[in-house]
Amino acid sequence: MTIYIKNMVSESCKFVVGLALEEMDIQITKIDLGEVKINRNITNEEKNLLNLKINQVGLEILEKENDILVDKIKIAIINYVDHSEEKPSLRFSAYLSEKLKLSYGYLANSFSAVEGTNIEQYLANVKVERIKELILLDELTLSQIAFKLHYCSVAHLSKQFKKVTGLTLTQFKALKEKGGNRL
């Protein structure tokens, strides 16, 4: 059986879900971002208990097909941004269609209907969050970050950063210096 979990987008989320299932004595056969495969069906009572355990950290079980699809889109976007070491051979829309085996138009319409925003805006937000992480790590220059995330220039990266956050890169870096790594 596969259980789909909303907002399970990091290793720490996977750990929390795994721990909750272990406490419930439910054996996991595979755990990935957004989904867990277990060796048996679970009862409604077990499902409710699992939801209670994982809700404490902002996670929840997904059951509606559209919600599951949107979560898969989000995870594909996060993977696209986080594992973008080499320049993608496909345009983003083609990548997403290929990854989820559905037309981009269908994916875009489903995403907008559930989230109230479009895929491109979500992608921009995820990229900006990644930019923030890389700035906070302070290991790469802005040029290296722009290259890593496939921006054509630092100016393009800066423009998108400002559009999403309302801050310039200089302002964000100043906040980082002032507040340490609490951003």
Q: What is the pLDDT of residues 96-114, one digit of tens each?
A: 999 999 999 999 999 999 9
- Cα-trace Rg, the chain: 19
According to the model, what pLDDT value does residue 85 have?
64
Name the CATH architecture for the domain at 65-183. Answer: Orthogonal Bundle (1.10)
Q: What is the pLDDT of residues 69-90, one digit of tens each?
A: 999 999 999 989 987 666 666 7
Q: What is the pLDDT of residues 151-175, one digit of tens each?
A: 999 999 999 999 999 999 999 988 8
Cβ neighbours of residue 13 under 8 Å, at least 6 residues apart? 5, 7, 33, 57, 59
- Name the amino acid, one letter, at 169: L
Q: What average pLDDT does the segment 2-13 reach?
A: 92
Which residues of the chain form CATH 1.10.10.60?
A: 65-183
CA-CA-CA-CA torsion sign (72, 78, 82, 84): positive
Q: Is the pLDDT of residue 39 over 90?
A: yes
Distance between CA atoms of residues 9 and 88, nearest Å: 21
According to the model, what pLDDT value does residue 89 have?
67
Q: Is the pLDDT of residue 180 over 60?
A: no
Average pLDDT score, the chain: 91
Q: What average pLDDT does the segment 13-40 reach?
A: 95
HEC string for the chain: CEEEEECCCCHHHHHHHHHHHHHCCCCEEEEECCEEEECCCCCHHHHHHHHHHHHCCCCEEECCHHHHHHHHHHHHHHHHHHCCCCCCCCCHHHHHHHHHCCCHHHHHHHHHHHHCCCHHHHHHHHHHHHHHHHHHHCCCCHHHHHHHCCCCCHHHHHHHHHHHHCCCHHHHHHHHHHHCCCC
CA 54 to chain centroid: 17
Q: What average pLDDT does the segment 9-33 reach?
A: 94
Which residues of the chain form CATH 3.30.70.100?
A: 2-63
CATH placement of domain 2-63:
3.30.70.100
Q: Is the pLDDT of residue 9 over 70?
A: yes
Q: What is the pLDDT of residues 41-60, one digit of tens each?
A: 999 999 999 999 999 999 99
